Amino acid sequence: MSDEDVRAILRDARTIAIVGASDRPDRASYGVADYLRRNTDYELWFVNPRLTELFGRPVYPDLASLPGAPDVVDVFRRSSELPQVAEEAIAAHAKVLWLQLGLADETVATTARSAGLQVVMDRCLKVEHQRLS
């Protein structure tokens, strides 16, 4: 995916669901969520079945529980969980499936693209926002 495509995703997105959001400051998902909440106007929806609140906001157990369709689903999960997350993102009517640094799966990407989602792989949303915005 080109920088221009990523720039358009970041520009057009209004809601971002962070799957695998953590309340541990040493986790990448915490750092990305904290950066986004401090430096952007995105509406952030945190997803983690083990948490109920993060940064004073509710945490949802899964994508199906979100209050609406997310523009971007930003994934911080193991590679083995990507097929399930992709199916949930499709069912949630997401527009973009964003796989964080270290995550790339062409089969998952093909499934998501076939359902009409754009796919970003092996890129950090925070880094790309800082670089392209």
User: pTM, whole model, 2 decimals?
Assistant: 0.96
Residues of the chain with pLDDT under 70: none
Distance CA 113, CA 133 (A): 25
CATH code for the part of the protein at 3-132: 3.40.50.720
Six token digits for residue 22:
């953590």
* DSSP secondary structure, 34-103, as one string: HHHHHH--PEEEEE-TT-SEETTEEEESSGGGSSS--SEEEE-S-GGGHHHHHHHHHHTT-SEEEE-TT-
Domain borders along the chain are: 3-132
Look up residue 100 and give its amino acid: Q
Six token digits for residue 64:
């199906």
In the prediction, which pLDDT does 128 show? 97
pLDDT digits (tens, 9 = 90+) for 80-117: 999 999 999 999 999 999 999 999 999 999 999 999 99
